[in-house]
Amino acid sequence: MNALELTDVRKVYPVGDSEVVALDHASLTLGQNEILALVGPSGSGKTTLLSIAGGILSPSSGKVVVGGEDISDYSNGQLTRFRQEKVGFVFQSVNLVPFLTAAENLFVVDELGPRTGKPARATAGKLLDELGLAERTKNLPSQLSGGERQRVAIGRALMNDPDLVLFDEPTSALDTGLGAQVMELIRSEMKQRGISAIVVTHDPRITEYCDRTVQIVDGELSA
């Protein structure tokens, strides 16, 4: 079973009286345990594609199947549940709840669905450990460096044991060295867990950490 199948997906944003076609005829298949780099210029539709794959946005037309689950026609409530259970997100910039500590930013994921409590706390601790944040668990986001914040966000994305993790420019706020470190971390975490991922970037160096690269220009994909 493929981690993600987009078939002829189109997304149109209404803007005033006209429309913006952000994604057109987008078809993409992501295999099990595959890390895909999605590269394209600003405004090309990368975030839009990611949002559709992650159930944050519904496509205007086309089919979206994630881990065998067709979410194309899901209601808002169904999408919320889907996001809660099946996918992990690392967003372009807004990633942490400012009034929660690093550990709580992970643990909060458990609070969104049926609570498990103790096991979730243990998972959060283990993840932060793996991400090299054992000493930072009680820090608020404002007391973390940019790289640390991004690592906490990666931990958060893994908390619900997702089938698919979506990274939207995970290194854009970091310098080159730190970006490489974070990408290495992403790769090892994904491979170790056998999770598929899409990493959006416009930095070609990032693609080295991915299995495959897909280009997007003006809402259209090309390998």
Partner 1 sequence: MFLALREIGRAKARFGLLVSAIALLVFLILFQQSLQNGLLTSFTGAVKNQSAPVLVYSVDGQRVLQASVITPDLEQRVRSTEGVGEVGAIRQGTFTGAPLTESENFDTSVIGYDAGADGEGLGAPASLSEGRLPTRAFEGVASAADARNGYGVGDVVRIVPGDAEISIVGIAQEAQLNVGPTIFVSNETYLELVAAVNPDAGVPPPNVLGVAPAVGVTDAQVVEAINGQSLELDALTRSDAAAKTPGVAQVQQSFAIIFLLYALVVPCVTGLFFLIVTFQKAGALTLLRAIGASARSLVWSLLLQAVIILGAGLALGILLYLPVSQTRLGGLELQFEEGAVIGWSIALLALGLVSSLFAARRVLKIDPMEATTGRGVGQ
Ligand X SMILES: Nc1ncnc2c1ncn2[C@@H]1O[C@H](COP(=O)(O)OP(=O)(O)OP(=O)(O)O)[C@@H](O)[C@H]1O
Residues lying near ligand X in the complex (CB under 6 A) are found at 13, 15, 20, 22, 40, 42-48
* Residue 47 binding Mg ion, by CB under 5 A: yes
Q: 214 with 182: CB under 8 angstroms? A: no
Instruction: Write out the binding residues for partner 1, residues 11-70 only, by CB under 8 A.
Output: 47, 50-51, 56-57
Question: Tokens 């809660």 sit at which residue?
Answer: 84
Smallest separation (angstroms) from ligand X to the CB of 62: 15
Residue 150 makes contact with partner 1 by CB under 8 A: no
Is 99 near partner 1 (CB under 8 A)?
A: yes
Alpha-carbon distance 100 to 96, whole Å?
A: 8
How distant is the alpha carbon of residue 81 from its chain centre?
A: 16
Measured from the CB of residue 56, what is the shortest distance to partner 1 in angstroms?
5
Q: How far is the CB of 76 from partner 1 (least distance, A)?
A: 8
**Whether the Cβ atoms of residue 189 and residue 150 lie closer than 8 Å to each other:** no
Piece of 44-52, 104-112, 117-125, 146-154 that binds Mg ion (CB under 5 A): 44-52
Cβ atoms within 10 Å of 73's Cβ, excluding its own: 10
Residue in 19, 111, 161, 175 binding partner 1, rule: CB under 8 A: 111
CA distance 11 to 7: 12
Residue 77 identity (one-letter amino acid): G
168 makes contact with partner 1 (CB under 8 A): yes
Other Cβ atoms within 10 Å of 139 Cβ, number: 17
Name which of ligand X, Mg ion, partner 1, none residue 104 binds, using a CB cut-off of 5 to 8 Å depending on partner kind: partner 1
Measuring CA to CA, how many Å separate 189 from each of 85, 119, 124, 219? Answer: 18, 20, 14, 30
**Is the C-alpha dihedral spanning 90, 4, 46, 172 positive or negative?**
positive
- To partner 1, the closest distance from the beta carbon of 20 in angstroms equals 14
Told to check if 160 binds partner 1 by CB under 8 A, we report yes
C-beta of 5: minimal distance to Mg ion in Å? Answer: 22
Please, which residue, 46 or 83, has the CB nearer to ligand X? 46
Min CB(96)–partner 1 separation in Å: 5
The answer to whether 197 and 206 are in contact (CB under 8 A) is no
Residues of span 135-164 touching Mg ion by CB under 5 A: none
DSSP letter assigned to residue 120: H
